[in-house]
Structure 1
Amino acid sequence: MNIWIVLAAAASSFLVGGLWYSPALFGKVWTVENGSQMAAGHPAKVFGVSFAFSLVAAAAFAVLVGPSPGLEASVKLGALTGIGLVAASYGINYQFAQRSLKLWLIDGGYHAVQFLLFGVVFGLWG
C-alpha cells in the first residue's frame, strides 16, 4: 500500500467535505435538516478525528482497489463503494431514524463523491 496515495486520497476527501458542508454548498440545508443541531466539540478534535476516519476509508479503499489499478476500474470501484455500500447503508439508517430525503442526499452524496474521488486519485496515481 502506497501511503502517499492514501494520504492524498484522504486529504482530497477532507477538502471536498469542507466545501460540501460549507454554507457555499449544502451546509445551511444540512443544518436545517438536522434540526439546527450542530455537534458540540472542539473544532481541532472534530477535524482531527474526521481526518483520521478519512485515512481509514482511504486505506480500506487501497486494499479493495489493489496495486496499480487502472483509472476506469478504480473509478467504477469508487462509484460502487460510495453509492452501493456507503450511501445505501446511510439510506437504511436514515429510513429507520425518520431522517429526511434531503439529509440523505447530502450525506450519502458526499460519500458517493468521496469514493469517486478516491477512485480518481488511485487510478491516476496507480
Structure 2
Amino acid sequence: MEMNFYALLVAAFSTLVVGFIWYNPKVFGTIWMKESGMTEEKMKGSNMLLTFGVSFIYALLISFMLQIITIHQTGALGMVGGDASIAKPSYAAFMADYGMAFRTFQHGALHGFLAGLFLALPLIGTNALYERRSFKYTLVTGGFWIVCFMIMGGIICAWK
C-alpha cells in the first residue's frame, strides 16, 4: 500500500475551499471576525499569499496523519515494518481478504469526524480558554476543522 500524494494534496487543498465558504460573511465569517477580534483593517495588512501557503502546508501535514487514521490497511502495513516485501505470508493473506475493505468516502468521513471531534475541537477549545475567546469562537473554529477533517478523511480514504 503506497502513499497517494494526489489524494493528500487534494485533501489539503479542500481546507482552503471549505475556508472560503465557511468564513464568508454570509456564513460564519462575521461571527468569527467579531469573536476573534479581527477587523477588515487587520486583514488588509496581512500577506494573504503567505497565509494561504502556510495554511496549505499545515493542512498537508494533517492529511498525512488522517491517512493513517482513515485507512485501516496502513496499520497492517505498519505492523510489518512498512515493507510488504519482507512480510510473512499472513500479511499477504490479510491483504487478499481485506485489501480494499472500508475504502469509501463515507468511512473516511466518519473517521475524519471522530478525529475532528476528539482531536481538533479539544485543541481549539483549550487554546480558546487560555486566549479568553468565547464559546462561539470555539464552535465556529472547531466546527470548521471537524468539517475539514470529514472531507479530508473522505477524500483520502476513497481515493485508491
TM-score, scaled relative to structure 1:
0.88
CA shift for structure 1 position 54: 1.2
Q: Which residue of 2 aligns with 1:96?
A: 130
Question: What 5-or-longer segments of structure 2 have no aligned partner?
Answer: 75-99
User: Identity, % of aligned pairs?
Assistant: 30
Aligned counterpart in structure 2 of residue 42 of structure 1, from 27, 33, 47: 47
CA shift for structure 1 position 81: 0.7
Aligned counterpart in structure 2 of residue 87 of structure 1, from 121, 125, 133: 121
CA shift for structure 1 position 79: 1.1
Do structure 1's residue 53 and structure 2's residue 58 form an aligned pair?
A: yes
CA shift for structure 1 position 70: 2.3
Residue type of the alignment partner of 1:43:
M
Q: Which residue of 1 aligns with 2:11?
A: 9
Do structure 1's residue 29 and structure 2's residue 31 form an aligned pair?
A: yes
Instruction: State how many pairs are aligned.
Output: 126
SS at match of 1:87: helix
- Report the RMSD for the aligned CA atoms in angstroms: 1.8
Aligned counterpart in structure 1 of residue 67 of structure 2, from 62, 85, 106: 62
TM-score, scaled relative to structure 2:
0.71
